[in-house]
């Protein structure tokens, strides 16, 4: 009998989180496109429905609203369909050094993790950190366990790189303690589901720290950026995806690549891959996730992409508290002068993630409709398949799907070439096709005049050809 997790894997919707590695799906590895994917291992004496309930894209797993309901806190929280349940909303940054300078944005994530540790609310932090230099040229980042402020600081900044949790989940299972786990929305969902299925995780994961997410990248994204900075994949030893550039808007950041000898920083505005909406090297699963803010987490932290903040190159966070303890820590940090914060509105949260909401939530029904039409199976979401979106949005969605499917194949075909000229040559028409969808359309009257002029030119050209033929005769 086909299990739901098999449908997820077979339809390319595995996000590679690694939660299922604790049962029948044991092997989590990178596929040829640089994406983590589960593969079936030897069956154990295990509840065969367990993995279906843990997988974030399984139709037998609970959705985000239901998972929050199981915690019994709906009466304490307000609800918004685009950001989920919340206790308080904030924008701002950390005033106490060095958090803001070390972070991609306002430094709130690192400050909060250190505060939880220093107040003895957790014994360890589970988060993504760079791997030790020389440990692996393929895996530049991985989930690791930090037990000190120094170790926590190593995980600062955004890491647009695939990771999986199998090893750290095994550590939590076998090592008693209280853990704060940092996770993207889909990973947080699988963790909250795991906490419901296996009591040991509910006992030991004290806090889920969520991150706002646009989509997850494969390893190829880092390779693409490295190549444009003058490094080969094998030579690259480290990459910083979010290097702040003083004097520029917060969104006009750079990235830094090193091979251990040279270090190069380039503005993202100068490279292919900068357009997040284009989704270069995006997981397919990300197109079927309607959770932009890790709704099941105790707190969710992202960038305040708002006009009043983006001019500050140092970065500003927007974050959502859903847990009373977290809320009190934030209020305490504000009172002590460690944080510079403003209370935020739901509208501000929406505006800070406007493009993300448009793609991930508003246009999801169309992608579900297409998936049913193409494959006959779809993940169960909090909305139903529909093609009732505008023609222009359909064109954008169809082109984004084409980019998601075609670009990884092109890269693999040219990955061993030192000169990526052919890759970029074949990529350019796809990018042009996508960018043309955003070009402003001329008024109908102007377009009609252009068509009439073209028709007149064609008529004159035909007349000239006929006259030339007659002269020859």
Chain segment 295-331, per-residue pLDDT in tens: 999 999 999 999 999 999 999 999 999 999 999 999 9
Give Cα separations from 14 to 58, 188, 287, 360 (angstroms): 9, 15, 12, 17
- Residue 51 pLDDT: 84
- pLDDT, mean of residues 130-151: 86
Nearest to 349 by CA among 79, 71, 2: 79
45 — pLDDT class (breaks 50, 70, 90): very low
Return all residues near 32 (Cβ < 8 A) that are at least 6 apart: 412
> In this predicted structure, what is the pLDDT of residue 463?
67
| Contact predicate 134/356, CB 8 Å | no
**Pair 278, 400: CB distance under 8 Å:** yes
Strand ranges for 138-201 from DSSP E: 141-146, 179-183
Question: Residue 344 above 80 pLDDT?
Answer: yes
Average pLDDT over residues 147-165: 97
Residue 132, pLDDT score: 82
**pLDDT range class, residue 471, cuts 50, 70, 90:** low
Q: How confident is residue 42, by pLDDT bands cut at 50, 70 and 90?
A: very low
pLDDT at residue 213 greater than cutoff 60: yes
Average pLDDT over residues 458-463: 64
Average pLDDT value for residue range 427-449: 79
With contact defined as beta carbons under 8 Å apart, do 33 and 220 qualify?
A: yes
The answer, yes or no, to whether residue 81 has pLDDT greater than 80, is yes
For position 80, what pLDDT does the model report? 97
Q: What are phi and psi of 299, to 5 degrees?
A: -155, 145
- What is the per-residue pLDDT for 137? 60
pLDDT average, residue stretch 220-230: 97
| Mean pLDDT, residues 192-199 taken together | 94
What residues pair up with 256 in beta bridges, in sequence order? 240, 265
The larger pLDDT score, comparing residue 464 to residue 423, is at 423
Main-chain dihedrals φ then ψ at residue 298, nearest 5 degrees:
-75, -25
The rounded distance, in Å, linking the Cα atoms of 222 and 215 is 14
- How far is residue 31's CA from residue 218's CA, in Å, rounded to a whole number? 10
Q: Which residues contact 149 (CB under 8 A, 6 or more apart)?
A: 114, 117, 118
239-284 residue pLDDT tens: 999 999 999 999 999 999 999 999 999 999 999 999 999 999 999 9
pLDDT for 435 beyond 60: yes
Mean pLDDT of all residues belonging to the chain: 91
What does the pLDDT read at residue 457?
A: 63
Q: What is the pLDDT of residue 4?
A: 86
Average pLDDT over residues 123-144: 86
């Amino acid at each position: 009998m086909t299990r739901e997790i098999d449908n997820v894997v077979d339809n390319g919707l595995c996000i590679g989180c690694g939660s299922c590695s604790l049962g029948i799906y044991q092997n989590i590895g990178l596929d040829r496109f640089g994406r983590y994917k589960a593969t079936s291992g030897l069956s154990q004496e295990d509840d065969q429905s367990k993995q279906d309930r843990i997988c974030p894209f399984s139709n037998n797993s609970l959705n985000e609203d239901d998972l929050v309901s199981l915690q019994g806190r709906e009466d304490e929280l307000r609800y918004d369909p685009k950001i989920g349940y919340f206790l308080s909303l904030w924008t701002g940054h950390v005033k106490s050094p060095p958090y803001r300078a070390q972070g991609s944005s306002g430094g709130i994530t690192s400050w909060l993790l250190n505060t939880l540790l220093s107040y003895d609310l957790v014994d360890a932090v589970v988060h993504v950190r760079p791997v030790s230099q020389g440990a692996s040229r393929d895996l530049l980042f991985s989930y690791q366990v930090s037990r000190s402020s120094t170790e926590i600081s190593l995980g600062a900044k955004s890491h647009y790189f695939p990771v999986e949790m199998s090893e750290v989940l095994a550590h939590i299972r076998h090592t008693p303690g209280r853990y704060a786990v940092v996770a993207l929305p889909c990973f947080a969902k699988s963790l909250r589901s795991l906490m419901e299925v296996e009591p040991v995780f509910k006992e030991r994961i004290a806090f889920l720290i969520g991150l706002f997410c646009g989509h997850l990248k494969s390893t190829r994204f880092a390779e693409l950026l490295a190549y444009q900075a003058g490094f080969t994949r094998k030579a690259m030893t480290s990459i910083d995806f979010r290097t702040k550039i003083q004097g520029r808007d917060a969104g006009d950041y750079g990235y830094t690549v090193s091979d251990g000898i040279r270090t190069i920083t380039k503005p993202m505005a100068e490279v292919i891959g900068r357009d997040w909406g284009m989704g270069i090297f995006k997981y397919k699963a990300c197109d079927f996730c309607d959770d932009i803010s890790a709704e099941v987490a105790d707190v969710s932290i992202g960038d305040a992409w708002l006009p009043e903040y983006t001019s500050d190159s140092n970065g500003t966070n927007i974050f959502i508290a859903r847990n009373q303890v977290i809320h009190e820590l934030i209020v305490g940090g504000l009172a002590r002068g460690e944080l510079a914060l403003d209370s935020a509105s739901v509208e501000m949260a929406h505006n800070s993630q406007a493009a993300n909401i448009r793609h991930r939530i508003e246009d999801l029904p169309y992608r579900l409709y297409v998936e049913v039409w193409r494959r006959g199976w779809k993940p169960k979401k909090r909305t139903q398949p529909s093609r009732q979106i505008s023609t222009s949005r359909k064109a954008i969605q169809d082109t984004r799907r084409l980019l998601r499917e075609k670009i990884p194949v092109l890269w693999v075909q040219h990955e061993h070439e030192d000169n990526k000229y052919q890759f970029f040559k074949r990529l350019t028409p796809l990018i042009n096709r996508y960018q043309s969808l955003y070009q402003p359309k001329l008024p109908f009257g102007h377009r009609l005049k252009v068509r009439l002029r073209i028709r007149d030119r064609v008529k004159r050209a035909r007349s000239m050809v006929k006259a030339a033929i007659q002269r020859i005769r």
